[in-house]
Amino acid sequence: MKILYLTVLMSLLYSLATHAEDIIASTKDLLSLSLEELMEVKIITVSKSEETLNDAPGIISVITAREIKHFGANSLFEVLERVTSAYMTGFHLFPQNNPSIRGDLASHVDNHVLILVNGRPFRESFGGGFAFSIYLAFPVSMIEKIEIIRGPGSVLYGSNAFVGVINLITKTKAPQQVSSEIALKQGTFGARALEANGIMNQESFKLAGGIKKFKEDGWPFSAINESGGRGEIPYREDNLGAYLYGESHGFKLNALFVQSVQDVWFIPLAQGQIRNENRRVLLDLGYEHQFSAGWTAQANVTYNGHDTIIDNIPFLATDTTHPQSDDVLLEWTNFMKQGRWNWLLGGTTYVLTTERDGYKTHGTSYSLYAQGQYQWTDSLHLIAGGQAVKPVGIAWEVVPRLGMIYQFSPNLGIKMLYSQAFRTSLYEEKFGAGNILIGNPQLTPETITTADLNLFYNTKDYQLSATYFHSKEQDLILKVPAPNSNSTTFANAGEVTFDGIELEGKVKPTDRFFITSSLTYQTNQNQAGKDNYTSVPNWMAKIGISYEFDQDSSIGLFNNFFSKAPDVSARFANVKHVNPETDAFNLMTLNLRMNLHQFVGWPVILEGYVYNALDTDIYAPEFARSRVNSIPARQGRGVYLGVQYKFE
């Protein structure tokens, strides 16, 4: 099979080389867009309304559909690996579940980063972050762009927006009234995939939707467990995702279903193979009405459903655990403009229902939020805002946001930002999971305070920025070993301080070349003076280079470098060093696309994608139970060939 892959890839390269002159001659004007035109897009995540990247009171990165197409990906998880300051990881039970941003990695679940779909929150109230299904099953071909906020977002978005926000903005406009495509892919480890999408634009409505099916027999996982036994299993995946968007007469509908079934390794057991099933549903209906030129209001009803089944756990009487949650969010938002002021005012009512193995809990939380932006001069913008929150079972809390944006010239500017966020404990943390994970109902909210200093410079050919950040997390809810037991429990385990520098750049040196890169250095320390407490690499260096031969014909190379991840011994005593130590690594991908329309007369595109092209052995700290030092974190080299057909 590998010989077949290499043969096909070499044939594609030969065909591109022999026809390159004709292709370039026929498309001189096709790719003449400047960097400014390609990347000067409006963003909406920071203030819930459209604004330029320079005017947004946040530190934000944008990944476009064009970049995803050029660099390739099998999943959203792989796309997010390329984000500035992001370290995509997981633990033995959910190996692809945690986006660590700016060094934060406090929990075994994804409860510090909030995911949005077209601005609507995708969350669950059981553990706050059983999220691997969206990272693996979301139809990537439906993404128009991804906006990523680095820093607290709780002022406008509430729970989970602790260190970052990821907003998936989907395609809703077609180049013609009806547009659709289908793609098939096959590759290493028995991988096979189907993805399809379609968009319909009429005068009175828009309709868009996509599906994804990805199934893999699994890459070979092998590691020593807590008892000294070796577990060897195939890491199987079976992912299904479906998304639907509708818009008509002020109403908007977002509907998402994602499901992932995985065979993974359960570290306390000798062989340890268990099965996870994670299903998530998002259903949002919104209505927007413009009362006047200076006042627009938006109302939303958002349902989030979560259902996880974990099988083959011998510690439990039933061999299975089944956490669930059903949450409804009611939200009212007002956008007002008066003179030099832009105002955002809103409120939420959040009804939460959780259940585990027959035991149910209910609760309701409330919030009020506001943000004002004042244009003092043409060059100076001032920002102030805050949110008052009444979580379930505790008193009201208030988190503020302050900022200043000053532009020295149309190209050069500076942002000074200050923000806070907090997160309350959830069902799993309060009540646990049998005798392997003991709950703690006395937990108090955890908080974060962040200051950002950002310098940016943008021209038609360059987009550059440098950011210094300082964050302090307090009363963190962490997993710790339970006293006199082989179990784990939760505790407010002190505080961690983070300091870091982020450098970012996007450059378009010619019409066809595109370069994107970032460099991050972060260090953290807990209240006891332990450095690198969170086991996240100090250094991250990321660079992608793409060249576009023709429309839908391109080659893209992307490399992620991560320095050695610190040992989990900084957090836990008595760690057994039984698996290979973590080390610095390069995670490289290569993507080649070829549009065959000129050769066969059909709108067909061939794609060859290579993941972990250097076939690097990658180990990550075992930060969940922290009784062994590391576990395998990535598959070996994977080669995938696909074909895409566009219906015209």
Q: Which domains does the chain have, with CATH numbers?
A: 2-647 (2.40.170.20)
> Quick one: pLDDT at residue 435?
63
CB neighbours of residue 82 within 10 Å:
24
Check pLDDT > 50 for residue 366: yes
Q: How far apart are CA 253 and CA 146, in angstroms?
A: 19
Residue ranges of E strands in 357-461: 359-375, 380-390, 397-407, 412-423, 432-433, 437-438, 446-458
pLDDT digits (tens, 9 = 90+) for 551-601: 889 999 999 999 999 988 877 778 999 999 999 999 999 999 999 988 888
Which two three-digit tokens encode residue 220?
A: 């070979």
Distance in angstroms (rounded) separating the CA atoms of residues 564 and 391: 39
Tens-digit pLDDT profile for residues 179-205: 899 999 999 999 999 999 999 998 889
What is the distance between the alpha carbons of residues 250 and 615, in angstroms, rounded to a whole number? 50
Q: What is the average per-residue pLDDT within 144-150?
A: 96
Tell me: the pLDDT tens digits for 595-619?
A: 998 888 899 999 999 999 999 999 9
Integer Cα distance of 61 and 454 in angstroms: 13
pTM of the model: 0.92
* Alpha-carbon span 39 to 47, nearest angstrom: 19
Q: Which two tokens stand for residue 89?
A: 């990881």
Mean pLDDT of the 375-379 span? 95
Paired residues of 446 in beta bridges: 423
Nearest to 511 by CA among 188, 106, 27, 143: 27
**Which residues, in sequence order, are bridge partners of residue 210?**
197, 243
pLDDT value of position 443 = 86
| Residue 573 burial (C-beta neighbours within 10 Å; 0-12, 13-18, 19+) | exposed
Residues 481 and 453: beta-carbon distance below 8 Å: no
Q: 324 is written with which tokens?
A: 């669930």
pLDDT at 1 over 60: no
> What dihedral angle (degrees, nearest 10) is formed by the CA atoms of 543, 548, 551, 555?
-70
Distance CA 582, CA 628 (A): 12
Q: Measure the N-to-C terminal CA separation of the chain; round to a whole number of Å.
A: 33
- The residue among 44, 4, 73, 20 whose CA lies nearest residue 607 is 73
Find out whether 43 and 52 touch, Cβ atoms under 8 Å: yes
**Residue 47: Cβ within 10 Å count:** 20
**What's the CA gap between 589 and 642, in Å, rounded?**
15
Q: How far is CA 372 from CA 4, 63, 337, 345, in A?
A: 59, 27, 10, 9
Q: What pLDDT score was predicted for residue 556?
A: 98
Q: Rounded to an integer, what distance in angstroms lies between the CA atom of residue 505 and that of residue 555?
A: 20
Which pLDDT value is given to residue 324?
Answer: 92
**17: pLDDT strictly greater than 80:** no
- Per-residue pLDDT of 489-528, as tens digits, reads 888 888 999 999 999 999 999 889 999 999 999 999 999 8
Select the more confidently predicted residue: 32 or 338.
Answer: 338
In this predicted structure, the answer to whether residue 462 has a pLDDT above a threshold of 80 is yes
Please name the residues in contact with 515: beta carbons below 8 A apart, sequence gap of 6 or more.
505, 506, 507, 508, 509, 543, 544, 545
- DSSP type of residue 580: P
- State the Cα–Cα distance between residues 450 and 100, nearest whole angstrom: 16
Instruction: Supply the pLDDT for residue 390.
Output: 92
C-alpha span between 189 and 316 (Å, rounded):
32
Residues in contact with 276: Cβ distance below 8 Å, sequence separation at least 6, in sequence order: 93, 94, 132, 260, 261, 262, 264, 308, 309, 310
Both tokens of 483, joined, read: 């006293």
Give the count of alpha carbons within 13 A of 63, CB side only: 26
d(CA 227, CA 532): 27
**How high is the pLDDT of residue 4?**
37
